[in-house]
Homo-oligomer: A and B are copies of this chain.
Amino acid sequence: MMQPPTLINGVVVDRIDAGDRGLLYGDGLFETMAVRNGQVSSWPRHMARLLAGCERLGIPAVDPDQLSRESRELLAGIRQGVLKLIVTRGSGGRGYRIPEKILPRRILQLHPWPDFPATASDEGVAVRLCAIRLCHNPVLAGIKHLNRLEQVLARREWDNPQIGEGLLLDVAGCLVEGTMSNLFLVRDQVLLTPDLSCCGVAGIMRSIILECAEQLSLTAEIRALDIADLKAADEVFICNSLIGIWPVIAIDGRPYPKGAITSQIQQRMQAAEDNGSAWRP
């Protein structure tokens, strides 16, 4: 396999210390960012979430300016792609105990743009409900940390290329998100998205959509949602920083329409993207 270009703490190298705590314990965070027209979409939002994650885990904050310089170096001449950034607590410590002097490790990788289905944004995707349940851990909820076995196991549940995403419930039976996306429902003209205070990743595109809804004077509610809410929904869509918005047109075979509000939000965000404002700060 071709190695993607990688910068580790500013050095072009594709290997990492086998004692890094990211490997040993998943002791770190990551961001997955879209590169379009040579620019990293929503860079300030990704940096803000990363710093919030560092704060939560007690990893000394990395310098966004340094990350910005290193990203520019890695992206020189690149128009489109995916910029993945991992920040770990670095090496050292005895067992779980963190070292006295923490030297975080910055790993920047450039990946090609994924081969998402070309029709997904316009025509929507079929999704499924996953069997695995997300566990409740308020301390880890919301941030994009490296402990992602739940998502790996959820993604292992299906192999049918016609299924574009798997939706996840938590141990209490509440809807949370997709394996790689956040979830929105529309019911009676109201935008609904799961509360993520117990589990889930607070996605950048999710926050952009919530702001977009405000601009469109759509009522949006962040609250507990369950299967009954899903069944009662007029429209369903999923989102992340790479896919933008994908309408959901079927859940385990039950059809959903690609509705007017989903289209309205998609158009608003496309317009904002085209004039370089709002949703790509």
A residues with CB within 8 A of B: 1, 3-4, 6, 8, 13-27, 30, 57-58, 86, 88-89, 91-92, 94-98, 107, 109, 114, 132-133, 135-137, 139-140, 145-156, 171, 179-180
Q: Report chain B residues within 8 Å CB of A139.
A: 132, 150, 153
Q: Do residues B1 and A8 form an inter-chain contact, with CB atoms below 8 A?
A: no
3 smallest beta-carbon distances between A and B, as pairs: A26-B26, A135-B135, A15-B15
Q: Report chain B residues within 8 Å CB of A21.
A: 152
Q: Give the number of times this chain occurs in the complex, counting copies.
A: 2
Q: Do residues B14 and A17 form an inter-chain contact, with CB atoms below 8 A?
A: yes
* Smallest CB separation, A173 vs chain B (Å): 13
* Smallest CB separation, A87 vs chain B (Å): 12
Q: Do residues A27 and B147 form an inter-chain contact, with CB atoms below 8 A?
A: no
Residue of B nearest to A92 (CB): B1
Q: Do residues A180 and B95 form an inter-chain contact, with CB atoms below 8 A?
A: yes
Q: Report chain B residues within 8 Å CB of A136.
A: 135-136, 171
Q: Report chain B residues within 8 Å CB of A133.
A: 137
CA distance A132 to B138 in the complex (A): 9
Q: Report chain B residues within 8 Å CB of A107.
A: 18, 23
Q: Report chain B residues within 8 Å CB of A26.
A: 25-26, 146-149
Q: Report chain B residues within 8 Å CB of A140.
A: 149-150
